[in-house]
Amino acid sequence: MNKIITIISLVFITLLVKAQTPIYDSISMGPGYTNAVFYSMQNGTVVTAPIYTSSDIQIRFDGRSASIRPVDGFGAKVFLPVVSSTANWSTIDTTGMTELHNSDTAWENGAYNETATGHPDYGWGMYDNVTHDINGSKIFIHKTASGTYKKVWILKLNSLTKTYYIRHANLDGSMDFTDTIGTSDFPNKNFGYFNYGTRTKVDAEPIGTAWDLVFRKYDRTSDYRSVTGVLSNLNVRTTKLITPDPNTASGSGLLYYTNISIIGDNWKNFTPPTGPWEIFDSTAYFVLDQTNAIWRIVFTGFSGQTSGKAYFTKTKLGTVGIDDINNISLASIYPNPIDNNSILAFTSKSTSPCMINITNTQGSLVSTENINTTEGLNVYDLGNKNLNSGMYFVSIIQNGETHTTRMIVNK
């Protein structure tokens, strides 16, 4: 649903406490990388789950999200028919259908959402201004990892109960079922998982606050190849540094990003035709976890398909407070959706020039204004903007830092 592909958090770290002793660790995805490994920087492996064989889709449960992603990496694909109207459920034609893709930069951008144009269009469905539900408007074809084709209609997301109603069937119309999957099925999880063939709700992830990284196979956005690598959790920010001695790099003065594939798969390289895997020994990765602790990761080995093991050292470099991370904080819009009296309120650590930009879901700038902030609370009037109905992103840019929040215009 979020069409901004890469969101840069612009965290500028300048001060770290004394580093601890490096910890040697490893994870195992199993032979053929058959498992996803959810990993905590503080506690190590939290959960190892066979998400590829147990489930077909992962569904995001959050009041601001309608993200639905195929569990990619082992051949699962989603396609949009040329005529995708729900009126054609019984006669859907797969000729000339278009493949859709998950984003590997943001969890919010699933293949089922790829055609979204912004509020009220969420790709698979349209937002209803009266009920506040999202009602399904398209039929999709889902190829499972086992090679079975299903037609899928996301009937509705009930905004009150945060429950999805999903109709799915074989292409010939057999095995036609409607199932409900709700946030109550997966309490405190980022995603719930579901298997079309067995109609099973799969509780695969640990709670969202328990893990920072997931080691898994996924489809890389740049070329849509299936790769094995590392994706970061929501609210976790990462960066990397190429340096002659990655084991002593401090992470100070770097920008940290919310792009989930900053670590990705490029820390290793396969030497054809039979191997081995080599590790890029001049790269250090840094993770700002959900507790605001900064960790350095240096990869030291990779076994490949034999056992799916990745070897690395991790070093806790210190903990920073939120005030050390952001010059701008506590940004909010009220009321939202906006009216003629809506305001953007935020706090600033300094008195300095600031730019307020408003962009649409295609990334086009629709409004910009330069203001001078004062230290502490700042209030900016949003009610006098001549904007069409839809979703927008309001960015506060100050001293090299960008803080972005969503805004809905509902006229």
Whether 86 and 171 share a structural domain: yes
Number of domains comprising the chain: 3
Q: Has residue 2 been placed in a domain? A: no
Band (pLDDT 50/70/90 cuts) for residue 384 is low
Q: Has residue 231 been placed in a domain? A: yes
pTM metric for this prediction? 0.78
Whether 361 and 333 share a structural domain: yes
* pLDDT of 291: 87
Cβ 266 vs Cβ 228: under 8 Å: no
Last residue of a domain, one of 202, 236, 260: 202
Q: Has residue 6 been placed in a domain? A: no
* CA-closest candidate to residue 66, choices 209, 144, 166, 147: 166
- CATH code of the domain covering residue 331: 2.60.40.3080
- Tokens 């080995």, located at residue: 301
- Mean pLDDT is highest, among 135-149, 247-261, 278-292, for 135-149
Residue numbers of the domain that contains 17: 11-47+207-322
Whether 174 and 289 share a structural domain: no
| Average pLDDT, integer, range 103-118 | 92
Whether 224 and 114 share a structural domain: no
**Range in 86-100, 183-197, 243-257, 287-301 with the lowest mean pLDDT:** 243-257
| Average pLDDT, integer, range 316-321 | 76
**Helix segments in 210-344, DSSP class H:** 322-325
Last residue of a domain, one of 273, 304, 322: 322
Q: For 231-273, what is each residue's pLDDT tens digit?
A: 999 989 899 999 999 998 887 767 788 889 999 999 999 988 8
* pLDDT of 327: 65
| Average pLDDT, integer, range 50-79 | 92
Last residue of a domain, one of 307, 322, 337: 322
Q: Mean of the per-residue pLDDT values for the chain?
A: 88
Secondary structure (3-state) at 218: strand
Residue 354 pLDDT greater than 60, yes or no: yes
For 290, the token pair is 């959900």
Q: Is the bond into 273 cis (omega within 30 degrees of 0)?
A: yes
For 55, the token pair is 């489930």
Ramachandran area for residue 400 (φ above 0: left; ψ -120 to 50: alpha; else beta): left
Residue 82 pLDDT greater than 70, yes or no: yes
User: What are the Cα distances from residue 410, in Å, to 331, 341, 389, 394?
Assistant: 21, 13, 5, 16
Residue 2 pLDDT greater than 50, yes or no: no
Whether 190 and 108 share a structural domain: yes
Q: How far apart are CA 214 and CA 232, in angstroms?
A: 6
- Which residues lie across from 356 on neighbouring strands? 369, 396
